[in-house]
Amino acid sequence: MSDRFATHDTFVIEKSYEAAPDRVFAAWSDAKAKSGWFTKADTFEFRVGGRETSRGGPPEGPIFTFEATYHEIVPGERIVYGYTLDMGEIRISASVVTVEFKPAGAGTQLIFTEQGAFLDGHDSPSAREHGTNVMLDTLGAQLRNAG
């Protein structure tokens, strides 16, 4: 008998930013800009087939490892990537993400869709959605401050 299970879920988060789509896209496609609102990458190959990896966590642990592969990039419009997230040596999730950048007046409507398999109860869709909301709010603050 196994205690292993997967919880599958999809969530969509929409954010409005007072910055042009090309500027919001650049916050995802430039390693330095992205490090202002996302964990600083150890590897950053922003191209189709390219990888992004990072490791980090609180001082008391655990270490989280993010490993992504870019599947589609349409400059200024869309990014599609798949990623896994590990906590120490434990794989806690595998996901596919689509990020869309839509013009909205002088700004951008960002649509973030994540389809995930959350593994063995180590993470949950609600926790991931909450963390993603916080991350996208941090992106918004960075865009405002860079004005």
pLDDT of amino acid 70:
98
* Residue-wise DSSP of the chain: -----EEEEEEEEEEEESS-HHHHHHHHH-HHHHTTTSPPPSEE--STT-EEEEEE--TTS--EEEEEEEEEEETTTEEEEEEEEEETTEEEEEEEEEEEEEEETTEEEEEEEEEEEEETTSS-HHHHHHHHHHHHHHHHHHHHHH-
List, for residues 55-84, the tens digit of each pLDDT value: 998 899 899 999 999 999 999 999 999 999
Q: Which regions in the chain score pLDDT beneath 70?
A: 1, 147
Q: What is the pTM of this model?
A: 0.94
pLDDT of amino acid 147:
65
pLDDT of amino acid 2:
72
